[in-house]
Amino acid sequence: MRKKLLCMLLLAGSLNAYSQGPLTKNWEILATTTTGALIGNTSLQTTIAYNKVTDKLYLPERNNKISILNPATGALSSPSTLTVLNTAPAWTQSFKYTKIRVTDDGVIYACNMTNPASVTDAATIYIYRWASESDTAPTTSAISITGRVGDSFAVTGTGVNTVIYLSGANNTKLFICKTTDGVTFTLDNTVTLGAASQARSSISAIPSSSDIWINAPSVEARRISIASTGTITSTSAVASSAINQIYANTEYIQEGSEKYLAVSGAVIGGSYNAATGLGFDFKLYKITNFTTPPTDGVTEVGTGKLSDVTAAAPLTFYQNTNAYADVAYKKNGNGTYTFYNLICNNGMAAYTTASTLPVSLTSFTAGLSNGVSKLNWTTASESNNRGFDVQRSTDGVEFASIGFVASKAVQGNSSSLINYSYEDKTVPAGTHYYRLKQIDLNGDVEYSTIRVVNNVLNELAVKIYPNPAQNTLTLSTPLSLKGASYTVYNMVGQDFIKGKADELTSIDVSTLMPGIYFIKVISLQNEVQSIKFVKQ
């Protein structure tokens, strides 16, 4: 299995978590025309969500109930539904539970959908909130908006930091709701989109950011940055040649610094697109290095499809003219991911990545202290990790190994944070570049991002003689470096002689074994210069 560095708490490196091979379908539930079916063909099942606190899936049936499913099988759980009320006006609205989402702490949110006659007409959308799966008294918040809203719905953060995003078909607006008590929500900002329906099908928030991904049928998936005033400050759209714009739903997934988009759903009208079968697809794309032009850094790394349909000759299909689809996901204990994909009116399937995720780096830092380069990094998860080859370069291009740090994870596998460090005690004067080469147990490798350390004195008039030396080495330093310290050490960083430098300092090296050594001079301002010498 090929494991990739996320950006180590650098979590940033390159986790190709899903480039491990094809996805495995665990189960699927196909739509039927049977009354009361878990998934029917009348646009009642439009959304799903996963609760990592209770390990349950939620599948609403609009205007009726929210079923609780076992994610391992897709079967009904016990209890089989969330508590819903029937009090007016919130619980008597049309199109209740069009979308549902769950926060990291297990709070469940859903919304209805408004559908006024005009996109400029005022309307009220309701947000339903369950404090937990067992909540028997869910609360609601009424939000005044305009136009059709509720086709797309995203929730990010927890408690008083929870933020809700809403939009819908034909709407040029995206509505942002916030809370001061963690329970009741009010409209905080209204964002004007670049065109109507740009966020018609999906909104997916980027954690710890004001950026979101939005998508709709026949529109490129795009990332937008939103200022605190509600103004869009930047837009980055993925070209349809990279991700087909027929896909209607886009969900953003981030594992450390690695970034992915899960896409699915397409308009299925009176005829089926037999040439592509996109309406029944689930696809996973890695976008960690997504840049401009918009086709760069987008790689397909996983795909799935409802099994009763083939691209060449579909056996059955039901219309999904709204292109409703949804994706939820679960990170498993063994490092794999399971994705739950709902295609409205046609079915739902669960897919698991073929192998565990790579090493997930959440940070990687490098700094200089007393002439020593100190590297620190953290992994959020590891899979089949042998360890890290520490590499150094003088130009940022050609790297050489200077040490190895073995994985601390049991048999190279971990789902918890692990901290690592390495000290380069032989760093010469000058600018140096560091990176980590992460090595799998099977020999696959990935490289981290590069960190830079500058190890230079303000005054480089430091000299030694004679070189080679036999008994005495003279260290010559300028007057401005009076009081600087020096250390004589070998190629593996072992210290032998330390002292304070004067303008001319005689150093007894007679007891050193013949070989290559370094003398490092550290100024009172912690500036460093190292010079190599030979002991004869």
- Provide the token pair at 294: 């918009």
For the record, the structure tokens of 123 come out as 């309307």
CATH topology for the 360-455 domain:
Immunoglobulin-like (2.60.40)
Helices H / strands E in the chain, number of each: 0, 39
Domains 24-352 and 360-455 share a fold: no
Give the type of residue at 406.
A
| Token pair of 499 as six digits | 């002292």
The whole-number pLDDT of residue 5 equals 32
The rounded distance, in Å, linking the Cα atoms of 528 and 522 is 5
8 Å CB contact between 476 and 463? yes
CB 345, CB 31: distance < 8 Å: yes
User: Which residues fall within 8 angstroms of residue 437, CB to CB, at 6 or more apart?
Assistant: 388, 389, 390, 391, 401, 445, 446, 447, 448
Say which residue the tokens 């959908």 belong to. Answer: 113
Residue 94 CB coordination number (10 Å): 11
Tell me the per-residue pLDDT of 214-227, one tens digit each, with 9 for 90 and over. 999 889 999 999 99
Tokens 């953003």 — which residue? Answer: 252
**Domain 463-535 classification at class level:** mainly beta
Residue 11: predicted pLDDT:
27
Report how far apart, in Å, the C-alpha atoms of 297 and of each of 178, 237, 286, 303, 304 are.
Answer: 33, 12, 8, 18, 21
> Is the pTM here over 0.85, yes or no?
no
Per-residue DSSP letters for 332-359? Answer: -TTS-EEEEEEETTTEEEEEE-SS----
Distances from the Cα of 128 to the Cαs of 55, 67, 166, 386, 522, in angstroms? 20, 15, 13, 47, 63
d(CA 341, CA 283): 10
Are 380 and 6 in contact, with CB atoms under 8 Å apart?
yes
Q: Write the Ramachandran bin of 72: left for phi over 0, alpha for psi from -120 to 50, otherwise beta.
A: alpha
Domain ranges of the chain: 24-352, 360-455, 463-535
Nearest to 79 by CA among 56, 106, 101: 56
Burial of 364 (0-12, 13-18, 19+ CB in 10 A): buried
For 24-352, which CATH class?
mainly beta
Taking Cα atoms as reference points, which of 7, 55, 24 lies closest to residue 336? 24
Length of the chain: 536
- CA–CA gap between residue 415 and residue 392 (Å, rounded): 29
> Could you tell me how far CA 191 lies from the centroid of its own chain?
25
- Residues linked to residue 111 through DSSP beta bridges, in sequence order: 99, 127
Using DSSP, state whether 445 is helix, strand or coil.
strand
Coil, helix or strand for 331?
Answer: strand
Q: Return per-residue pLDDT of the chain as tens, 536 residues.
A: 333 333 322 222 222 333 334 689 999 999 988 888 899 989 999 999 999 999 999 999 999 999 999 999 999 999 999 999 999 999 999 999 999 999 999 999 999 999 999 989 999 999 999 999 999 999 999 999 999 999 999 999 999 999 999 999 999 999 999 999 999 999 999 999 999 999 999 999 998 889 999 999 889 999 999 999 999 999 999 988 889 888 889 999 987 667 889 999 888 876 665 555 678 889 999 888 787 556 677 888 888 888 755 444 455 678 888 889 999 999 887 778 899 999 999 899 999 987 555 567 778 999 888 778 899 999 877 878 899 999 999 888 889 999 999 999 988 888 788 999 999 987 777 788 999 998 888 787 788 888 988 876 544 568 899 999 999 999 988 776 778 889 999 888 889 999 998 888 899 999 999 999 999 888 776 667 788 899 98
In sequence order, what E strands does 180-280 have? 185-192, 202-205, 211-216, 219-226, 232-237, 249-255, 258-264
Q: What is the pLDDT of residue 397?
A: 80
Q: What integer pLDDT is reported at residue 255 of this predicted model?
A: 72
Beta-bridge partner residues of 99:
111
Complete DSSP assignment for 386-427: EEEEEEEESSSSS-EEEEEEE--SBTTBBSS-EEEEEEETTP
User: Partners of 128 in the beta sheet?
Assistant: 110, 140
- Which 3 state secondary structure label does DSSP give 129? strand
- Predicted confidence at residue 456, as pLDDT, reads 64
How far apart (Å, rounded) are the C-alpha atoms in residues 350 and 264? 13
* pLDDT digits 0-9 by tens, 231-282: 999 999 998 888 988 888 999 998 766 788 999 988 887 666 555 567 888 9
Give the 3-state secondary structure of residue 273. coil
